[in-house]
Amino acid sequence: MKARELLLIVTILISALMMASCAATVSIIVPKTTPDEPLILKAPYVDHWPKKLIFLSMTEASCPTRCSDALTTDTLRSFVSYIEQKLMKQNFQLISGGIVSRIELELKNTNNSGREVWDRTEKALLLGKESGADGIFEVRRLHIDKKFHTYLRAGDEQIFKEVPVLWARKVLAEDRTASSFDLVYWEATVELRLLDIDGNVIWSGTKTVKTTDIIPEAWKADLKAFWPAAYVSWENNRAKENYDYYMYLQNQDLQEQQIYLIIDNLIQQLAAKP
């Protein structure tokens, strides 16, 4: 056998072995999760809720982090209007938080010992006493975030397992047989709170729902794993799955529906007797 023919055969064999070791079908199982119960905090000393409230949305309240970056202005307004309607159906009397701007001009034109730098919640408290309100209702958070879980497989493992992202990076750097998969999910969060006219928080409600809370069952899929270490792309592989997980991820109407359900849940908790 000529040397050139032998070299060709060896090259083909090596390529075949590399292809066999470089690509393998492995599985991922993403469990269905149970949504957390809403976090409800009530002041023990309150006998009844205030009923005449200044209503502050995210742009009017002092948001602890960011307020509504992930939602369009129109969608956000729809949610805020829905909260107002739910409160009014529970016999709360609402005063628009927009009138807080009335006091801002007054603070600028008079010597108020630094009150001009107050946030809008502090100004609303001052205005509340002037307007006869006995409390303030704040929409503290209302947003939808995109996040991800990291799954990892190494060596001869056939199933991706969820791991902390820093651990996955460490293993990928040290093990050339390892590969990882980032599963994107969304997380919808609403936080509401009620203050008395002295600024005491007397009720706070927060609830979060994520994609894996609403999928019908655990998501199971076969993926292609590649050597050396590489991130596995589900979109490029079109893996075999028991249902289309990404339908739940990309459905904006479904996400917004969850926001409405969270609002219903929290207002129902608020309406219960203290």
User: 19 in a domain, yes or no?
Assistant: no
Residue 13 lies in a domain: no
> What is the average pLDDT across 226-245?
59
- From CA 262, how far away is CA 214, in angstroms rounded? 13
Specify if 7 maps to a domain.
no
Q: How open is the CA angle 219-223-224, to the nearest 5 degrees?
A: 175
Residue 121 lies in a domain: yes
Q: What is the pLDDT of residues 108-135, one digit of tens each?
A: 555 555 555 555 666 666 665 566 788 8
In a domain, 3, yes or no: no
Please state at what angle helix 100-109 crosses helix 120-131, rounded to 10 degrees.
100
Q: pLDDT, tens digit, for every residue of 45-81?
A: 888 889 988 888 876 554 544 444 557 778 888 999 9
Tokens linked to 202:
């007397």
Residue 135 lies in a domain: yes
Asked if 95 contacts 131 with a C-beta cutoff of 8 angstroms, the reply is yes
| Residues 24, 158: Cα–Cα separation, whole Å | 9
Q: What's the domain range around 122?
A: 24-271
Q: How many CA atoms lie within 13 A of 127 on its CB side?
A: 25
Instruction: Provide the b/e sequence for 120-131 (b: ≥16 CB within 10 Å).
Output: bbebbbbbbeee
Return the number of other C-beta atoms located less than 10 Å from residue 191's C-beta. Answer: 23
Residue 12 domain-assigned? Answer: no
Task: From residue 153, give the alpha-carbon distance in Å to each of 17, 27, 30, 148, 171.
Answer: 20, 10, 14, 17, 9
Per-position b or e across 30-44, b if 16+ CB within 10 A of its CB: beeeebeebeeebee
Bridge partners (DSSP) listed for residue 160: 28
On whether residue 208 sits in a domain, the answer given is: yes
Share of the chain above pLDDT 90, in %: 24
Number of domains composing the chain: 1
Query: Would you say residue 105 has pLDDT above 80?
Result: no
Question: Mind listing the pLDDT tens digit for each residue in 25-52?
Answer: 677 888 899 999 999 999 888 888 899 8
Residue with the bigger pLDDT between 191 and 69: it is 191
